[in-house]
């Protein structure tokens, strides 16, 4: 059977529901076998253990799952409401900020829709926000936070990109810095829209209550140090990413089990198993994609791709515009982890030819892929929210359209204004 026929058969199986990692690995195996070194695929899985800092992925994942099982979401919403609720559209801004924080730590947009949506959607409706706006907000805001540390997609892109020879190189720490301003831009844009919508909500703009703010801060006193410790330790170079991940997981474990006692010891194995199932899926995809990347490099796919693209595209801006459209479609069809590990080895050499900084490329990729979560017709969050809130997907498509346009405009600005991603990198003397 020819190579083309074998790959075609695998793609057909993918269309019939074959797991994506198996399709990726299958294509890698038949390609590498045809090239004469089929054992290379297996060595990629073995080599995962030698990747520096890989332990950060399971540790941050465990911390996120522990937080989602605790009362942290309710305390986060209460604190945000006490701090921001007095603004016009305050509760909607609370929802935006809370969802971004939660997604940054869990790394799972769908989990945010389920966990935070259960708290925020009824609260938004009770406060008088339009039902369509409330639905659209909790569905779209579930993807926010992927550009903030310690987001798993940011970490994964850093691990995949680090071994690729580019000038300059890029690290996980670089990406944590690069994502801050673009992520903040998205929050500001949605918050401004929330204030505009909030003008017509009777209960908006409630009086600021310093005593409630103090009580909410005191209630969340164990969660408040988390982002400060993570960001400060990494940005100041005090600890490596894997060390920060270990510190975060240990801290959350002690607080959840011993201090708050919101999780019993008998529940811990179940939560850990759930977290590690997600980690196992990521590692399977990562190993398979690394094998596929080897075959792509052997076949000089990046070089051929550049030759094809350069015949139609002359400037970095044109390249990034086409990339935006491509990534938006990819984000609808496959999960963000698969997209990162498959596309990064292909796109980084191509982007380098057009002079695009690898950290800027990473932020552009993640910003587009997070839009894919709620882009019709097949954005994953649309179906999760439809199931969670018992509404038709078509209703959610209409509800999320304004958010898609607002965040889409933000992504274009992030794409065409590289300084937004690179300013803090240059200030920090990295990259």
297 or 148: which carries more pLDDT confidence? 148
Q: What is the pLDDT averaged over residues 282-291?
A: 75
Number of domains in the chain: 1
The reported pLDDT for the residue numbered 17 is 67
Q: Does residue 4 belong to any structural domain of this protein?
A: no
Give the three-class secondary structure for 362: helix
Q: Does residue 16 belong to any structural domain of this protein?
A: no
Rounded CA-CA distance 66/138 in Å is: 22
The reported pLDDT for the residue numbered 372 is 82
Please state, as a whole number, how many other Cβ atoms lie within 10 Å of the Cβ of residue 165: 8
Rounded CA-CA distance 416/388 in Å is: 36
- Please tell me the least confidently modeled range out of 38-47, 119-128, 380-389: 38-47
Please state, as a whole number, how many other Cβ atoms lie within 10 Å of the Cβ of residue 108: 22
Please check the confidence at residue 428 and state whether its pLDDT lies above 60.
Answer: no
Count Cβ neighbours within 10 Å for each residue of 314-328 and write b for 16 or more, e otherwise. Answer: eebeebbeebbeebb
Q: Does residue 27 belong to any structural domain of this protein?
A: no
| 86 neighbors 206 (Cβ within 8 angstroms) | yes
Q: What is the pLDDT averaged over residues 269-296?
A: 78
- pTM of the predicted model as reported, rounded to 2 decimal places: 0.78
- As a three-state string, the secondary structure of 228-261 is HHHHHHHHCCCCCHHHHHHHHHHHHHHHHHHHCC
How is 79-142 classified by DSSP, letter by letter? HHHHHHTTSTTHHHHHHHHHHHHHHHHH--HHHHHHHHHHHHHHHHHHTT--HHHHHHHHHHGG
Q: Does residue 3 belong to any structural domain of this protein?
A: no
Residue 363: which pLDDT band, with cuts at 50, 70 and 90? very high
Residue 409: which pLDDT band, with cuts at 50, 70 and 90? very high
**pLDDT tens per residue, range 189-226:** 999 999 898 877 765 556 777 888 898 888 888 877 87
Rounded CA-CA distance 81/427 in Å is: 33
The reported pLDDT for the residue numbered 202 is 65
Q: HSE of 120 in the Cβ direction (CA atoms, 13 Å)?
A: 35
Please check the confidence at residue 22 and state whether its pLDDT lies above 80.
Answer: no
Please state, as a whole number, how many other Cβ atoms lie within 10 Å of the Cβ of residue 237: 10
Q: Give the tokens for residue 425.
A: 């990198």
Please check the confidence at residue 108 and state whether its pLDDT lies above 80.
Answer: no
Q: Does residue 30 belong to any structural domain of this protein?
A: no
Report CA-CA distances (Å) from 396 to 135, 143, 353, 431. Answer: 7, 15, 40, 40
| 381 neighbors 139 (Cβ within 8 angstroms) | yes
Place of tokens 């170079």: 237
Rounded CA-CA distance 347/331 in Å is: 15
Q: Does residue 7 belong to any structural domain of this protein?
A: no
Give the three-class secondary structure for 283: helix
Taking the CA atoms of 328, 332, 335 and 339 in sequence, report the sign of the dihedral they define.
Answer: negative
Rounded CA-CA distance 191/88 in Å is: 10
Rounded CA-CA distance 306/309 in Å is: 5
Range(s) of the domain holding residue 160: 39-428
**pLDDT tens per residue, range 62-71:** 887 887 778 8
Place of tokens 């179906």: 383
Residue 9: which pLDDT band, with cuts at 50, 70 and 90? confident
Q: Does residue 24 belong to any structural domain of this protein?
A: no
The reported pLDDT for the residue numbered 374 is 82
| Cis preceding linkage at 67, omega within 30 | no
Q: What is the pLDDT averaged over residues 232-249?
A: 77
Q: Give the tokens for residue 93.
A: 């801004």
- Please tell me the least confidently modeled range out of 334-338, 361-365, 419-423: 334-338
Q: Does residue 100 belong to any structural domain of this protein?
A: yes
Cα–Cα nearest to 391, from 173, 125, 193, 10: 125
């Amino acid at each position: 059977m020819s190579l083309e026929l074998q790959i075609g058969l695998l793609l057909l199986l993918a269309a019939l529901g074959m797991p994506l990692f198996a399709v990726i690995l299958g294509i890698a195996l038949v390609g590498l076998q045809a090239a004469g070194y089929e054992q290379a695929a297996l060595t990629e899985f073995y080599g995962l253990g030698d990747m520096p800092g890989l332990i950060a992925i399971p540790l941050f994942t465990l911390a996120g799952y522990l937080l989602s099982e605790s009362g942290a979401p309710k305390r986060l919403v209460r604190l945000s409401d006490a701090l921001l609720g007095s603004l016009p559209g305050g509760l909607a801004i609370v929802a935006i900020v809370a969802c971004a924080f939660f997604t940054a730590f869990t790394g799972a947009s769908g989990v945010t829709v389920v966990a935070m949506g259960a708290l925020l959607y009824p609260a938004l409706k009770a406060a008088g926000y339009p039902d369509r706006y409330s639905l659209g907000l909790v569905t779209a805001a579930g993807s926010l936070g992927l550009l903030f540390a310690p987001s798993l997609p940011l970490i994964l892109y850093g691990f995949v990109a680090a071994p690729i020879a580019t000038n300059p190189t890029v690290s996980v720490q670089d990406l944590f810095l690069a994502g801050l301003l673009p992520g903040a831009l998205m929050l500001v844009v949605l918050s401004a829209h929330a204030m505009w919508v909030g003008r017509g909500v009777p209960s908006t703009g409630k009086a600021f209550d310093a005593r409630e703010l103090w009580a909410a801060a005191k209630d969340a006193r164990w969660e408040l140090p988390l982002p400060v410790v993570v960001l400060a330790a990494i940005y100041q170079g005090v600890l490596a990413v894997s060390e920060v991940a270990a510190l975060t997981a240990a801290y959350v474990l002690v607080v959840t089990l011993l201090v708050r006692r919101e999780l019993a010891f008998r529940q811990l194995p179940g939560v850990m198993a759930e977290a590690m199932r997600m980690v196992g899926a990521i590692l399977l995809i990562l190993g398979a994609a690394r094998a596929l990347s080897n075959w792509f490099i052997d076949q000089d796919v990046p070089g051929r791709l550049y030759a094809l693209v350069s015949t139609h595209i002359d400037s970095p801006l044109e390249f990034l515009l086409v990339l935006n459209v491509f990534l938006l479609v990819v984000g609808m069809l496959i999960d963000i982890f698969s997209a990162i590990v498959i596309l990064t080895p292909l796109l980084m050499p191509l982007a380098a030819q057009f002079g695009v900084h690898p950290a800027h490329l990473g932020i552009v990729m993640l910003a587009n892929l997070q839009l894919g979560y709620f882009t019709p017709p097949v954005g994953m969050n649309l179906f999760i929210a439809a199931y969670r809130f018992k509404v038709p997907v078509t209703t959610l498509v209409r509800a999320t359209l304004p958010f898609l346009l607002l965040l889409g405009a933000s992504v274009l600005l992030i794409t065409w204004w590289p300084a937004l991603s690179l300013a803090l990198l240059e200030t920090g003397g990295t990259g």
